Structure 1
Amino acid sequence: MFGIYLKRELGRRKKAALVIALGLALGIALVITVNSVSAGMTQAQDKVLKSLYGLGTDMTVTKARTAPTSGSSGGPNFKFDAKSSSSSTQSSDRVQTQGGQALKSTLVTKVAAQKGVESAVGALSLNVTKVDGSFTQGKAQSSSGSSSNGGGGQGQPGGGTSTGQPQVQGGGANFNVNSYSVAGVDVAHQGLGPLASMKITSGKTFTSAQTGTKVAVVSKSYAKEKKYKVGSTFKISGTKFTVIGIATPDSSESDTDVFIPLKLAQTLGDAKNQVTTIYVKATDSKQISAVKKEITSNISGTTVTTSADLASTVSGSLSTASSLATSVGKWLSIAVLVAAFLVAALLTSSAVSRRVREFGTLKALGWPSRNVTRQVVGESMVNGLFGGALGIALGVGAAYVVTAISPKLTAQVGSTTGGGGGMGGGPGGGGPGQQASQNTLEIALTAPVSLTTIALAVGLAVTGGLIAGAMGGWRASRMRPADALRSVS
């Protein structure tokens, strides 16, 4: 009886039911779209952070910055020998740890032992500056001339020739400066650290047995610049390395040009048993703040930077769009949803007021108030579910359109070269000689729709139907059989 009457009444009031369902559908569709775009923004930011931090890295530990000592420039220092030959070729490599900020290797084990830390790996970041060129010595020539009068000058009775100071003519210097970055990798733990965000596209990566082998993996961009390929050789401060692999970053350009075993990097940088960055993976990604506090309090003189800290350095259209989706978009969707609920409730209540004769007659025939309320709530629930289904279809369609278009967003990430931070422009304090730079990435925006979002939409549809039905049912339950008689014309 209830189902038959429900079906008949909904069929009689198709337009009113459609208006209520459409209002709820628009609100639910907007919520789905905003949530999907926000999820896409989060995924895009994760891509940016992973390209900087490395897959699986939750935080990095670096040495706290210290003020440079008095009279120290902190930059590379080059000294060349002066030789007597007219032309002399000079070449020199200067290898320095980033910013001169280094930690003892024993701290890697200490960090790994902290509560909430699953694993920790150390890496050494070096800056190599190669200067080569030649000096050309000038020649000293003396200038001479005759006096301009016959009486001669002072001290030159009778006139004669004047000889000036000898002057150097010709000579100079022509030098090329090539600067690149080198990362010392713990070859036994490559899943965490500077190589974690790189993919080997040619050749192979290190093996755990190559801790002291003079081999290197170079980034694709640096290999293209220097025309390196697998099997090529090059020297760093007189040490010859063989290229065994070429790596491409997962989602951005890499700020690290050359990767070599950690032990060799420590030797080249005169940093025995030292690292510049400790990459940390937490046992629970939801407890990163607690792990950061644990490391900071137990290991003094260090700076702990999480992915959340690094996210604050991301700017550009990605950051702007993310802020809009998070603040304006969500508040707008909430406002529209509340308006849709109120409109549905008011329309349902208005429809009940126009059915005075119907509900009064039903009560006169013996229907209790709870049956009348159930009837109104049942109709509102059907409208809500229909509106929810329509809203899900519209929301999923809008998310699909965003994904199909894939608008390009840019992310500008503040990075440092020469600082004491992590690889790839990662976090951490800089040091003397630090230079700020911007690494601009281009990310395609997607709008993934999750099951959680669909469940949220269904919940909103049911809630909208209940709110509308509650207001309408409350009004219907207050009607008396006499109301039906008064409405008879």
Structure 2
Amino acid sequence: MFGIYLKRELSRRKKAALVIAMGLALGIALVITVNSVSAGMQQAQEKVLKSLYGLGTDMTVTKAQTAPSGNASDRPKFDFDAKSSGSKEQSSDRVMTQGGQTLKSSLVTEVAAQKGVSSAVGSLSLNVVKVNGSFTQGKAKSSTSNSQGGPGGQGGGTGAPQVQGGGASFDVNSYSVAGVDVSHQELGPLATSKITTGKTFTAAQSSSKVAVLSKSYAKENKYKVGSTLKISGKKYKVIGIATPDSSESTTDVYLPLKQAQTLGDAKNKVTTIYVKATDSKQIATVKTTIQKNISGTTVTTSADLADTVSGSLSTASNLATNVGKWLSIAVLVAAFLVAALLTSSAVSRRVREFGTLKALGWPSRKVTRQVVGESIVNGLLGGALGIALGLGAAYTVTAISPKLTAELGSTGGNGGGMGGPGGGPGGQAASAAKNTIDIALSAPVSVTTIALAVGLAVTGGLIAGAMGGWRASRMRPADALRSVS
């Protein structure tokens, strides 16, 4: 009886049911769109942060760079033989540590022993400036000049020799080098990359002269597996090509940590200690513990680094989080209110019907159940339409994939930060004001979001049904008689 009556009443009031359903659908669709875009923002931010620190890394330990002492010994210096002929090319490399002051390698063990730390790995960040080219010697040529002699007439002579031609042509190139602890590659700069050609380091290669190159650097300089890379007079065999999981990684060359320490004249030194916590919820506590027990170091977490992300990605994320969510809540509340008012209005127009049903013996709870049932069906219909609209909007955003810009600044200018060489505040970007990354936005829709939409649809139907049912339950059979004209 309930189902038959419900179907008949809904078919009789198709327009009213559709208006209520569409109101709920718009609110639910907006909620789905905002939630999916917010999820896309979060994924984009995670992608940015993954380009700055190793997978599984919760924090890094560094030491802030000191102010320049005025000593010129730290400046790049290149020595060439200016007397060489132009037929011989000259080359010189300047290797410098990058990313703050160096730390003793023994600190890695000390950090790993702290409470709440699961593992710790050291890395050395280097920057290599390579200058190569050749000199061309000039040629001295003498010129003959005529000058007027004494009173007896004219005389001739030879002028001073003049150097013609000559000069120099040199090319300057810089690239980043990361020293990798080959025994613990699950943390550190190489953890964010995947070996696509060749192979990665083995534990037995801690002292071997081998190298892994980034795909972009290898392509630009025409290196391949088996090629020889020469740095500061030392030759390294290329054993693998690495493709970063995030295309924004800027590390060019990976070497075993011991080789990097020898190359940078930094024996038993590291610039960054990558730390993984035992519990991701205790990262702040672990940070405090390390700072308290190991003085003079700077501990940077992914949350600290996220605060340095600015640009259109940060702006859009704030809009989606603040304005978007509040707007969706406001629209949803308005949709619920409109549905409740329309349902209550529809009940008012059915005075004769409900009054007659009560005169025939229907109790108030049965009348209320009828109104609530109709409202829930309207809510479910609105939920289905809202899910369809929301999925369509999310698909459109993903298909368009608008580009957002993330600008990465340093974490307070401490010279440290997460990421190691060139990846972010702890690498080459530390010397620059900002590093810009372009991210394509997507709008993934999760099962949780769909479940939320269904819940909102049912909730909207219950709210509208409760108001309409309360109005219907207060009607008396006499009301039906008064409505008869």
Q: Same fold (TM over 0.5)?
A: yes
Q: Is the 8 A contact 2:182 2:256 kept in 1?
A: yes
CA distance in 2, matches of 1:141, 1:12: 110
Q: Is the 8 A contact 2:44 2:439 kept in 1?
A: no
**1:414 is matched with which residue?**
408
**2:19 is matched with which residue?**
19
Q: For residue 386 of structure 1, report the CA deviation from its aligned partner.
A: 2.1
Q: Is the 8 A contact 1:134 1:173 kept in 2?
A: yes
Q: What's the CA shift string for 1:252-295, capped at 9, x where partnerless?
A: 14311111100111111111111111222233334433333333
Q: Is the 8 A contact 2:124 2:271 kept in 1?
A: yes
Sort the Cα spacing of 1:344 and 1:171 in 2 relative to 1 into closer, same or farther, 3 A.
same
**2:129 is matched with which residue?**
129
SS of the residue corresponding to residue 204 of structure 2 reads coil
> 1:174-253 residue pairs with structure 2 within 5 A?
174-253=169-248
Aligned residues: 480
Q: Is the 8 A contact 1:61 1:428 kept in 2?
A: no
> 1:475 corresponds to which letter in structure 2?
R
**1:329 is matched with which residue?**
324
CA distance in 1, matches of 2:183, 2:197: 20
Q: What's the CA shift string for 1:223-250, capped at 9, x where partnerless?
A: 1222111111122222211011111122
Return 5+ residue gaps in structure 1 as ranges.
152-159
Q: Is residue 423 of structure 1 aligned with residue 420 of structure 2?
A: yes
CA distance in 2, matches of 1:478, 1:387: 28
> 2:201 corresponds to which letter in structure 1?
F
Sort the Cα spacing of 1:437 and 1:394 in 2 relative to 1 into closer, same or farther, 3 A.
closer
Q: Is the 8 A contact 2:63 2:416 kept in 1?
A: yes
Q: Is residue 449 of structure 1 aligned with residue 440 of structure 2?
A: no
- The match for 2:469 among 468, 473, 477 is 473
> 1:101 corresponds to which letter in structure 2?
Q
- The match for 1:395 among 376, 381, 390 is 390
Q: Is residue 262 of structure 1 aligned with residue 248 of structure 2?
A: no
Greater shift after overlay, 17-26 or 95-104?
95-104
Q: Is the 8 A contact 2:178 2:253 kept in 1?
A: yes
> 1:456 corresponds to which letter in structure 2?
L
**2:456 is matched with which residue?**
460
CA distance in 1, matches of 2:427, 2:31: 43
Q: For residue 415 of structure 1, report the CA deviation from its aligned partner.
A: 6.8
CA distance in 2, matches of 1:223, 1:429: 23
Sort the Cα spacing of 1:89 and 1:454 in 2 relative to 1 into closer, same or farther, 3 A.
closer
CA distance in 2, matches of 1:433, 1:166: 51
Q: Is the 8 A contact 1:66 1:431 kept in 2?
A: no
CA distance in 1, matches of 2:190, 2:117: 20
> 1:65-464 residue pairs with structure 2 within 5 A?
65-72=65-72, 74-80=74-80, 90-99=90-99, 101-135=101-135, 171-403=166-398, 405-414=399-408, 421=417, 422-423=419-420, 425-428=422-425, 434-436=431-433, 438-443=435-440, 445-464=441-460
Q: Is the 8 A contact 1:98 1:420 kept in 2?
A: no
Sort the Cα spacing of 1:386 and 1:174 in 2 relative to 1 into closer, same or farther, 3 A.
closer
Q: What's the CA shift string for 1:90-131, capped at 9, x where partnerless?
A: 532221110552112122222223333322211111011222
Q: Is the 8 A contact 2:367 2:469 kept in 1?
A: yes
**1:157 is matched with which residue?**
none
Q: Sequence identity, in percent?
A: 79
Q: Is the 8 A contact 2:76 2:94 kept in 1?
A: yes
CA distance in 1, matches of 2:400, 2:120: 37
Q: Is the 8 A contact 2:126 2:177 kept in 1?
A: yes
Q: Is the 8 A contact 1:74 1:432 kept in 2?
A: no
TM-score when normalising by structure 1: 0.86
CA distance in 2, matches of 1:224, 1:16: 65
State the Cα RMSD in Å.
Answer: 3.3
Q: For residue 349 of structure 1, report the CA deviation from its aligned partner.
A: 0.9
Q: For residue 388 of structure 1, report the CA deviation from its aligned partner.
A: 1.5
Sort the Cα spacing of 1:240 and 1:371 in 2 relative to 1 into closer, same or farther, 3 A.
same
> 2:442 corresponds to which letter in structure 1?
T
Greater shift after overlay, 133-142 or 194-203?
133-142
Sort the Cα spacing of 1:2 and 1:170 in 2 relative to 1 into closer, same or farther, 3 A.
closer
Q: For residue 345 of structure 1, report the CA deviation from its aligned partner.
A: 0.5
CA distance in 1, matches of 2:256, 2:111: 21
Q: For residue 162 of structure 1, report the CA deviation from its aligned partner.
A: 12
Sort the Cα spacing of 1:204 and 1:116 in 2 relative to 1 into closer, same or farther, 3 A.
same
**1:52 is matched with which residue?**
52
> 1:20 corresponds to which letter in structure 2?
I
Sort the Cα spacing of 1:297 and 1:473 in 2 relative to 1 into closer, same or farther, 3 A.
farther
Sort the Cα spacing of 1:406 and 1:290 in 2 relative to 1 into closer, same or farther, 3 A.
farther
CA distance in 1, matches of 2:169, 2:460: 78
TM-score when normalising by structure 2: 0.87
